[in-house]
């Protein structure tokens, strides 16, 4: 990683809300069942795991093994059918809906498998959507730095439909990072990128560890080369915890 990148982002992190300490993320006996009139899918089965503060954790496994479902459970976007998710001592998964929304807004960041950009906002404005105060010069500066690190600074004033798919993905990654969340959850960030761009994206994502924890779902083990821990899923079960 380039020294300049690290230095710049450290400077930006000085403005971070000190309330956002860093905590262990863990789950116990987590399950998710999708029940429809036609089928029952046990997408996640009795998964227990722990992710240390400031670490980079990867979730791998074949298509349909429950990676996205597990990520959505850990990040509170889905409610478990059983078990619990804890952030430190806070039993997050059972909190009242309003508390969950507020907690998620303050402590979690997301990068979805699809970029989901707002079509009538520029790329830069899209990155700033989750920023706590859109008018803070520090947020604007950080958003521009992130676009720069991701190689799309020249596209800041363009609209998403004027950009390529991979450029939109990179804007969504900047949007996930811009709040310097305590936990950043990322689903398949490199699936639609060439190898060199994918590696660059992973380097930029790894800057998140200065602010908190990074949890990445990926098919590509190479993208986990800097990770502290990997969790391998198969048929909804956690079958292996490994050192990538
Ligand atoms: N909304 C849903 N309703 C019913 N079944 C679902 C739903 N979403 C996912 N599933 C099923 O749950 C299982 C796990 O899906 P999930 O999306 O978590 O897999 P994945 O490991 O992320 O796969 P991929 O690598 O293809 O993204 C699959 O069998 C899938 O068909
Ligand atoms: Mg998935």
pLDDT for residue 5: 38
Instruction: Note the pLDDT tens digit of each residue in 10-47.
Output: 333 333 344 446 899 999 999 999 999 999 999 999 99
pLDDT at 136: 77
Closest atom of ligand 1 relative to the 69 alpha carbon:
18
pLDDT at 133 over 80: no
Q: Which helix (H) or strand (E) holds 59?
A: strand 56-60
Q: pTM for this structure?
A: 0.91
Total tally of structural domains belonging to the chain: 1
* Across 126-132, average pLDDT: 90
**Mean pLDDT rounded to a whole number for the chain:** 89
Q: Which ligand is nearest to the CA of 33?
A: 1
Q: What is the pLDDT of residue 10?
A: 36
For the CA of 39, the nearest ligand: 1
pLDDT-derived band at 134 (thresholds 50, 70, 90) equals low
**Which residue, judged by its Cα, is nearest atom 20 of ligand 1?**
64
CA atoms within 13 A on the CB side of 5: 17
Neighbours of 241 (CB within 10 A): 12
Q: How confident is the model at residue 138 (pLDDT cuts 50, 70, 90)?
A: confident
Provide the pLDDT confidence category of residue 8 given band limits of 50, 70 and 90: very low
Please compute the mean of the pLDDT values over residues 185-189 and round it to a whole number: 95
Share of the chain above pLDDT 70, in %: 90
User: For position 159, what pLDDT does the model report?
Assistant: 98
Protein residue whose Cα sits closest to atom 7 of ligand 1: 34
Q: Are 184 and 212 spatial neighbours (Cβ–Cβ below 8 Å)? A: yes
pLDDT digits (tens, 9 = 90+) for 200-233: 999 999 988 999 999 999 988 989 988 999 999 9
pLDDT at 79 exceeding the cut of 70? yes
Closest ligand 1 atom, CA of 65?
21
User: 57 pLDDT exceeds 90?
Assistant: yes
Q: How far, in Å, CA of 9 to CA of 165, rounded?
A: 26
Domain range spanning residue 114? Answer: 3-242
**CATH number assigned to the domain comprising residue 105:** 3.40.50.300
Ligand 2 centroid–CA 231 distance in Å is 14
Q: Give the Å distances, CA to CA, from 190 to 28, 38, 53.
A: 29, 34, 24
């Amino acid at each position: 990683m380039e020294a300049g990148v690290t230095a710049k982002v450290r400077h930006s992190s000085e403005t971070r809300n000190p309330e956002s300490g860093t905590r262990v993320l863990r789950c116990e006996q987590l399950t998710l069942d999708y029940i429809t009139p036609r089928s029952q899918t046990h997408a996640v089965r009795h998964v227990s795991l722990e992710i240390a503060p400031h670490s980079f954790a990867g979730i791998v496994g074949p298509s349909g093994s429950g990676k996205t479902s597990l990520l959505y459970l850990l990040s509170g976007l889905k409610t478990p059918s059983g078990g619990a998710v804890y952030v430190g001592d806070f039993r997050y998964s059972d909190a009242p809906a309003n508390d969950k929304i507020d907690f998620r807004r303050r402590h979690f960041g997301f990068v979805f498998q699809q970029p989901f950009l707002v079509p009538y906002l520029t790329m830069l404005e899209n990155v700033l959507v989750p920023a706590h105060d859109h008018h803070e010069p520090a947020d604007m500066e950080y958003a521009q730095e992130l676009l720069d690190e991701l190689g799309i600074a020249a596209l800041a004033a363009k609209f998403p439909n004027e950009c390529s798919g991979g450029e939109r993905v990179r804007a969504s990654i900047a949007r996930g990072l811009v709040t310097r969340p305590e936990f950043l959850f990322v689903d398949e960030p490199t699936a639609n990128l060439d190898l060199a761009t994918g590696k660059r994206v992973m380097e930029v994502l790894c800057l998140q560890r200065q602010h908190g924890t990074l949890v990445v779902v990926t098919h590509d083990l190479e993208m986990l080369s800097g990770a502290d821990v990997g969790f391998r899923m198969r048929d909804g079960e956690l079958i292996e915890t490994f050192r990538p």
